[in-house]
Amino acid sequence: MTEQPRLEYIRHRLRDDPRRALAWFGENWRQSPRFRYAAIGLGVVLTILAFAWTLLVRGLPDAETMLDYETPLPTVVRGIDGEIVHSYARERRVQLQYADFPQQLIESFLAAEDKTFFSHGGVDLTGTMNAVVDYASKMGSGERAVGGSTITQQVAKNLLLGDEYSVTRKLKEMVLARRIEGVLSKPEILTLYLNEIPLGRRSFGVQAAARAYFDKDVGDLDLHEMAFLAILPKAPERYGRARHEQLAISRRNFVLDQMAENDFVSAQEAAAAKARPLGLVDQRTERSADAGYFLEEVRRELIEDFGETAEDGSNSVYAGGLWVRTSLDTELQDAARVALRRGLLAYHGNRGWTGPVATLDPDNGDLTSQLASSYLGIRYEDWRIGVVTERSGSTATIGFSDGQTAPLSGFPDALKVGDVVAAQPSGSGYRLRTVPEVSGGFLAQNPQTGRILAMQGGFDSRLGDFNRATQADRQPGSTIKPFVYATGLDQGLTPASAVPDQTFCVWQGANLGDKCFRNFGGGGGGVHTMRWGLEQSRNLMTVHIADDAGMNNVVGTFKRVGIGDYEPYYANALGAGDTTVRRMVNAYSALANWGRQHGQGTVIDYVQDRRGKVIWRADRRECTGCNMAEWDGQPMPRFGVSGRQVMDPRTAFQVVHMLEGVVTRGTAVRLRSLNLPLFGKTGTTTGPTNAWFVGGSPEIVAGMYVGFDQPRNLGGWVQGGNTAAPIFKTFVERTPDHWSKGETFVAPPGVRMVKIDRRSGKRVFDGTPSDEPQAAIIWEAFKPDTEPPRATRQDEIAAKREEILDLLRRARLARAAGPRQPQIEAQTDFVEEQGGIY
């Protein structure tokens, strides 16, 4: 038949056959009632099927979304050295590529779940019919029928549908499985399956499960371990428990037999694997650096920037798979934690038990279960956190979050059921231990970069996440004085300027009269150098400097360096306003860095998405030419200077130079034995309620305070020098490698080092400055043209005469007792309340 007649034939059939079919249907419809009933029935059935199909597929997810599907992954945190220190995860997940899965692991899952995976089109008809028969046989029994699902169907269920147990879900699963097979290759489907399948112990995917059950990576698993993982999809919570070990071994051996039957392994390999025990490891918590306060600060900042869950965006903390590089130095962090704890325990001394760390209500159910859900804990020596479950006379029982109970000894009469306490193993039971009620915060920072290196916000972050290093507002006391002195230097004073250590009063109005400031311990008198006043932390000299420099200028300096935004009250010059450890350390970092400051300090260096692209970084300096394809022969490109200039570099160095004297012969003299070039300042607030020290080296600045969360008197003997400074000393002693360079503070351009008499502040030309703490001659830092003149005997006689005359004038004024010039009347209540801070 030629081409033309063939086309004519086809057109003829297309035109005539439908006519004949309709004619046949019409004739039978008219002549045969049975035909009419059968046609109507068939129509009804087809309509019902079409309607059911429409309901079934309506709203089904689009299988093409699988092309862009991304596994929810935890955020991984690295420390300053690049080592992993933590992960933010509510589930264990690790994403691998198809090439990362060992072939025998793939074959184990095929043998256990879907041996025809590579030949079917998404649905295994034989398995489906077996599932239908099993479903019918178990209908009404309450038992769950076998699924009969292929691996593709399980992917559809896990990722698109959920785990609803119904015939409708099974039908939807089959439809989606066919669609998935149309858009993804077999290796892509297997990759999704092996990365997403829930396998118990909060693990999703084979890599996370390998770590959870065997503490191995998938590439290191033995055959019997791979077979065990393959049995878990059926019942992960049953097979993974010790009491079902024999059931798990039986199921594992079945999988090994199936592997041998399908020629995945030899019979000898299967037999050898079947002879092995399960070898499961105990469940363990995620490995993490003991830096809870630091890591929680990182988490808060990440959630603020990227959101918490997948609903908040593709780069969320608990689903985005972020890689976060932080500035955490684990060695410094360990030292900070130990140093602060030692300081708190040293203060607590032998004060005895101060009460429970928390209290649980026995009426709310099992106490150990309540404790487990509270996540309270401690990591100190061999201490544990438990709850008192029984108390009768001189006996008591303590229970722990794992259900263990033991006798408790060494407890006071005040102990009661429901008290959550710390305890230490003792004999066949436990002995009560006291977590100090006093607390504090510690933070260490690199002043050159602003990177926060260590942070300890209390005794243990597992007892509460309130971070006293960043969240506790405390009065800084005398640690604020260096910035008062800096303001004085900016207003024309010098470290050698003579300042009266004499009474300073503020007129508060006719009703209140004068408010007079005093030195710690009382005393005072005479005129001394600024250096001496800072080294000895003289309140009266500080207030005189604040008055000379202008309180508006002083509080302007406080605000500029980030300490706080205060009213221009004289009490604020002595540290009456609230601030945080983080702010104080950052302000001192500006002093050590020639007056340049890096925001409020950073805990995160940069953030990468799951593919490694940097999506956020702290250092945003531009580097023009850094990415050029080829070097153009010009000078190599360099980053610009980082940070913001908040203080005259010369002023900053002058203050640091004076603060070195605080360590050499001042209130922090106990640090002198470290034999390091250190600067710093102690602080103690009225009460005393807070004891502070802030200081360090050119490379590390640290700050800390000790005090009760609800401020109250620490005891009259407490000072920053004997309570906070020893914490810093312990910190340095435990990290010698970080201080071994012994780098000194370098003066910026424009500073002149001049020999002066340490006591009088007069310039001298004879003699050599000494490193001795009480040396008569020292080097002092001056701005150009501010150096003092040479001292002479006549100068000394004149100074003494002026001092005597000044005392006589003051005596006459006191007898006169006349009204004083009003000064800042708005201070009335504030100064009365805050005065006396030292």
Mean pLDDT of 324-333: 97
* pLDDT on residue 331: 96
| Percent with pLDDT over 90 in the chain | 53
Higher-scoring residue by pLDDT: 39, 672? 672
How far from chain centre, in Å, is Cα 699? 23
* pLDDT on residue 138: 46
Task: Give per-residue pLDDT as tens, 435-477.
Answer: 999 999 999 999 999 999 999 999 999 999 999 999 999 999 9
User: Is residue 596's pLDDT more than 80?
Assistant: yes
Which residue in the list 107, 113, 535, 660 is annotated as catalytic? 113
* pLDDT on residue 386: 96
Residue 669 CB neighbour total at 10 angstroms: 17
Which segment of 282-296, 354-368, 697-711 scores lowest on mean pLDDT? 282-296
pLDDT band, very low/low/confident/very high, at 740 (cuts 50, 70, 90)? confident
Residues 752, 468 contacting (CB under 8 angstroms): no
* pLDDT on residue 654: 98
Give 819's Cβ-side CA count (13 Å radius): 9
pLDDT band, very low/low/confident/very high, at 494 (cuts 50, 70, 90)? very high
Higher-scoring residue by pLDDT: 561, 39? 561
* pLDDT on residue 346: 96
Higher-scoring residue by pLDDT: 636, 773? 773
Under 8 Å CB-to-CB from 50, ≥6 apart: which residues?
Answer: none
Which segment of 106-110, 170-174, 299-303 scores lowest on mean pLDDT? 170-174
E strands, 46-107, in order: 75-78, 84-88, 92-93
* pLDDT on residue 682: 97
Question: What is the SS3 assignment for 606?
Answer: strand
User: Is residue 63's pLDDT more than 80?
Assistant: no
Tell me 666's DSSP state. S
How far from chain centre, in Å, is Cα 421? 26
Interior/surface letters 419-449, b for 16+ CB within 10 angstroms, e for the rest: bbbbbeeeeebbbbbbbbbbbbbbbbbbbbb
E strands, 125-187, in order: none
* pLDDT on residue 579: 98
Alpha carbon distance 797, 775 (integer Å): 22
Task: Give per-residue pLDDT as tens, 80-128.
Answer: 999 999 999 887 788 888 888 999 999 999 888 878 888 876 676 665 5
Which segment of 73-82, 101-110, 130-139, 656-665 scores lowest on mean pLDDT? 130-139
User: Is residue 293's pLDDT more than 50?
Assistant: yes
Question: What is the SS3 assignment for 825?
Answer: helix
Nearest to 676 by CA among 649, 700, 705: 700
pLDDT band, very low/low/confident/very high, at 151 (cuts 50, 70, 90)? confident
Which segment of 162-171, 714-723, 739-748, 786-795 scores lowest on mean pLDDT? 162-171
| Percent with pLDDT over 70 in the chain | 82
Higher-scoring residue by pLDDT: 417, 279? 417
Q: Is 833 a catalytic residue?
A: no
User: Is residue 288's pLDDT more than 90?
Assistant: no
Higher-scoring residue by pLDDT: 765, 371? 371
Nearest to 774 by CA among 791, 792, 757, 787: 757
* pLDDT on residue 444: 98
* pLDDT on residue 638: 80
Higher-scoring residue by pLDDT: 462, 30? 462
* pLDDT on residue 606: 96
Torsion of CA 33, 34, 35, 39, to 10 degrees: 100
Question: What is the SS3 assignment for 289?
Answer: coil
Task: Give per-residue pLDDT as tens, 598-650.
Answer: 989 999 999 999 989 999 999 888 877 788 888 878 888 888 788 899 999 99
* pLDDT on residue 25: 67
- The residue length of the chain stands at 838
Mean pLDDT of 180-189: 78
* pLDDT on residue 757: 92
Task: Give per-residue pLDDT as tens, 220-255.
Answer: 999 999 999 988 888 887 887 877 888 889 898 999
Under 8 Å CB-to-CB from 106, ≥6 apart: which residues?
Answer: 190, 194
User: Which H helix or E strand runs over 644?
Assistant: strand 644-645
Question: What is the SS3 assignment for 387?
Answer: strand
Look up residue 211 and give its two tokens: 């770590």
Question: What is the SS3 assignment for 755?
Answer: strand
Mean pLDDT of 419-435: 95
Alpha carbon distance 675, 331 (integer Å): 21
From the number of C-beta atoms within 10 Å of its C-beta (0-12, 13-18, 19+), residue 91 rates as: middle
* pLDDT on residue 385: 96
Q: Is 119 a catalytic residue?
A: no
* pLDDT on residue 822: 38
Mean pLDDT of 656-678: 95
Which residue in the list 316, 327, 478, 697 is annotated as catalytic? 478
Alpha carbon distance 606, 102 (integer Å): 34
Under 8 Å CB-to-CB from 94, ≥6 apart: which residues?
Answer: 73, 195, 205, 207, 208, 211
